[in-house]
Amino acid sequence: MAKRIITISREFGSGGRFIGEETAKKLGISYYDKNMIGQIAEKSGLSPEYILEKAELSPRKGLFAYAFAGRDNTGKSVEDLVYEAQRKIILEIAEKEPCVIIGRNADYILKDRTDVINVFIHGSVEQKTKRICELYHVSEAEAKSMMAEIDKRRMTNYSFYTNQKWGKADNYTLSLDSSQLGYELCEKIIMECMK
């Protein structure tokens, strides 16, 4: 079956979001990332700011925080409500139009579709640190600490909701080292897989 949808999971600082955005432009298809937040807010009734913090990252205290999160009388935590709204939006988007979706466990959420390719973008610590320093105007030490925290929280969120290991090659159609290959070649390879 022809592929219509690209999900991009990525290590923080690997340029995965940039690669996804450029690929969407080149293919002339929609691009979903933070622009989903409004829709998730509407569906869940929670504020966009709250969702921005919660939608893709685990609580700062890690996996245990999920277990001990306050729950409503249906047994759902606020994290679960955000996740459920996000899941519905992603399923709707995929049904509606060809697109690139960044992060948010879209690879797992869309696992029953056959028109999706799942991409994981990773990179070397040196290159990722360099990029984070430039993008966020932080020191090398700060960049390394941001990288460690954000990837850990993405990983925890992913394993909590998918029971899969984030970054394991098996989960993705293709995994690319953007530091070794360069962003343009990554885009070219992804587009090759959509033909």
Residues 11-40 interacting with its own copies (rule: CB under 8 A): 11
User: Looking at beta carbons only, is 142 or 177 nearer to its own copies?
Assistant: 177
172 near its own copies, rule: CB under 8 A:
yes
User: Looking at beta carbons only, is 27 or 174 nearer to its own copies?
Assistant: 174
Tokens found for residue 169:
């090659």
192 near its own copies, rule: CB under 8 A:
yes
The rounded distance, in Å, linking the Cα atoms of 42 and 56 is 17
> Could you say which of 29, 117, 150, 191 contacts its own copies (CB under 8 A)?
117
Q: How far apart are CB 103 and its own copies at their closest, in Å?
A: 15
Cβ neighbors of 54 (< 8 A, separation 6 or more) are 78, 79, 82
The rounded distance, in Å, linking the Cα atoms of 167 and 15 is 15
Residues 47-86 interacting with its own copies (rule: CB under 8 A): none
In the chain, the amino acid numbered 171 is: N
What does 13-26 look like in DSSP terms, one character per residue?
TSSHHHHHHHHHHH
Location of structure tokens 């690997």:
14
Identify which range of 24-32, 85-93, 152-160, 185-193 contacts its own copies by CB under 8 A: 185-193
The rounded distance, in Å, linking the Cα atoms of 163 and 74 is 22
The rounded distance, in Å, linking the Cα atoms of 178 and 122 is 6
The rounded distance, in Å, linking the Cα atoms of 105 and 157 is 9
User: Looking at beta carbons only, is 41 or 102 nearer to its own copies?
Assistant: 102
169 near its own copies, rule: CB under 8 A:
yes
159 near its own copies, rule: CB under 8 A:
no
Identify which range of 23-31, 93-101, 105-113, 174-182 contacts its own copies by CB under 8 A: 174-182
> Could you say which of 87, 104, 122, 131 contacts its own copies (CB under 8 A)?
122
The rounded distance, in Å, linking the Cα atoms of 178 and 128 is 9
> Could you say which of 18, 31, 108, 120 contacts its own copies (CB under 8 A)?
120
Residues found near its own copies in the complex (CB under 8 A): 11, 117, 120, 122, 167-170, 172-177, 180-181, 185, 188-189, 192-193
